[in-house]
């Protein structure tokens, strides 16, 4: 029985990079015994322009019935003037919460042939392989009350609420411990426990989960120190678990250690390992339609899909190996200092498969 995949091209460079990832899926079906049916849906600005919603109900229903979702990117300046609840990004937030995609996995791997693309010295970043486990459906991005109000003196104030329940912390901690146990058995939990009561709860609960499960060495680090250490000595980290906002920031820091944000995939999983897979980078509207975007992050997101949601680890290995061989052969898009087009990079990877 084949897998049911939902493809959401989205906005900006989304359709271009997703097209190359679909080429990879097609090659796996035609040459490697992979069985999958692919359905397309609207999200973000594409949904707004078509039916007036950043997440059409038809898309959400297809998402619920799918085994995994491949997303390009959402957003663009043409929708910035809309009310907040109608903007493209709200479609992304809603699909995450509707499917309870609470565990966001963001690997930052520096391929040996790309060591010179990082802004850090080779001896600092060579062999880098970090996985950030970010809690995705709680924290300050989703807390209430929130808004902008006017004070008695007429001055405006903005406010957002940072909250976490023990159950939310426990489930993301369990995911992180499970992943760490399959790697180097090292886990770093990042918080701001010296200032925030929420972080005190976070630190205590993560410690409790690690003690209960065992087999993993845990250390805690304040987020400001973690950002500094990620630049100073990034290879000290293996698996990092942290909250929604800190994970958002630290994963972008980790992205630049690898030389290009165009290289980094991500997975967002629920408790059933149903997942949405997307590149870490955004819609890059200034690059849209030019055929210069790097599709590797999206293609590596397919590899993560195969590994985490579809239980096809051998095929995931094949995709990752194909990417490595193409890079070793010198293939480079503009973000990596080369001139290869989006389609040419996709074709090269497909060729290796």
Cα separation, 127 vs 207, in Å, equals 29
In angstroms, rounded to a whole number, what is the distance separating the alpha carbons of residues 45 and 48? Answer: 5
pLDDT of residue 69: 98
Rounded to whole angstroms, how far apart are CA atoms 260 and 338? 12
Instruction: Give me the pLDDT at residue 252, please.
Output: 87
Amino acid 261: pLDDT: 83
Which active-site residues does the annotation give?
141, 192, 224, 248, 252
Query: Which secondary-structure segment (H or E) carries 185?
Result: none
Rg (CA), the chain: 20
- Tokens matching residue 192: 């701001």
pLDDT at 46: 96
The SS3 assignment for 330 reads coil
| Structural domains in the chain plus CATH codes | 1-104+265-353 (3.40.718.10), 129-257 (3.40.718.10)
Evaluate whether 54 touches 76 at the Cβ level (below 8 Å).
no
Output the pLDDT for position 85: 85
Query: What confidence score (pLDDT) does residue 1 get?
Result: 67
> Distance between CA atoms of 300 and 291, rounded to whole angstroms?
19
pTM: 0.93
Which tokens belong to 136?
Answer: 């995705």
∠ Cα 333 339 345 (to 5°): 45
Q: What pLDDT shows up at residue 220?
A: 98
Q: Please name every residue paired with 276 in a beta bridge, in sequence order, or none if there are none.
A: 69, 268
Residues of the chain scoring pLDDT < 70: 1
């Amino acid at each position: 029985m084949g897998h049911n995949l939902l493809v959401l091209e989205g906005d900006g460079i989304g359709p271009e990079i997703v097209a190359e990832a679909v080429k990879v899926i097609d090659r796996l079906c035609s040459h490697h015994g992979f069985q999958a049916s692919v359905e397309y849906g609207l999200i973000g600005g594409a949904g707004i322009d078509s039916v007036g919603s950043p997440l059409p109900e038809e898309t959400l229903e297809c998402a619920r019935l799918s085994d995994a979702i491949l997303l390009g990117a959402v957003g663009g300046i043409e929708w910035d003037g809309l009310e907040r609840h109608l903007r493209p990004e709200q479609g992304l937030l809603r699909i995450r919460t509707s499917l309870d995609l609470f565990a966001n996995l963001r690997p930052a791997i520096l391929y040996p042939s790309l060591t010179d693309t990082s802004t850090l010295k080779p001896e600092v970043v060579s062999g880098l392989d970090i996985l950030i486990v970010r809690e995705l459906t709680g924290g300050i991005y989703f807390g209430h009350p929130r808004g902008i109000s006017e004070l008695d003196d007429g001055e405006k104030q903005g406010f957002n609420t940072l909250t976490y329940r023990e159950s939310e912390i426990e489930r993301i901690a369990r995911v992180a411990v499970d992943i760490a146990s399959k790697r180097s058995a090292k886990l770093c939990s990042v918080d701001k426990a010296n200032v925030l009561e929420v972080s005190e709860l976070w630190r205590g609960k993560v410690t409790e989960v690690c003690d209960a499960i065992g087999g993993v060495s845990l250390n805690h680090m304040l987020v400001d120190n973690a950002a500094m250490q990620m630049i100073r000595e990034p290879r000290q980290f293996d698996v990092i678990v942290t909250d929604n906002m800190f994970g958002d920031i630290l994963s972008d820091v980790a992205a630049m250690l690898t030389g290009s944000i165009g290289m980094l995939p991500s997975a967002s999983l629920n408790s059933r390992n149903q997942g949405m897979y997307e590149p870490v980078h955004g819609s890059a509207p200034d690059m849209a339609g030019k055929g210069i975007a790097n599709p590797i992050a999206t293609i590596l997101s397919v590899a993560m899909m195969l590994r985490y949601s579809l239980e096809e680890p051998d095929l995931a290995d094949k995709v990752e190996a194909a990417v490595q061989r193409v890079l070793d052969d010198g293939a480079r898009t503009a973000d990596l200092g080369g001139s290869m087009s989006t389609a040419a990079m996709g074709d090269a990877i497909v060729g290796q498969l």
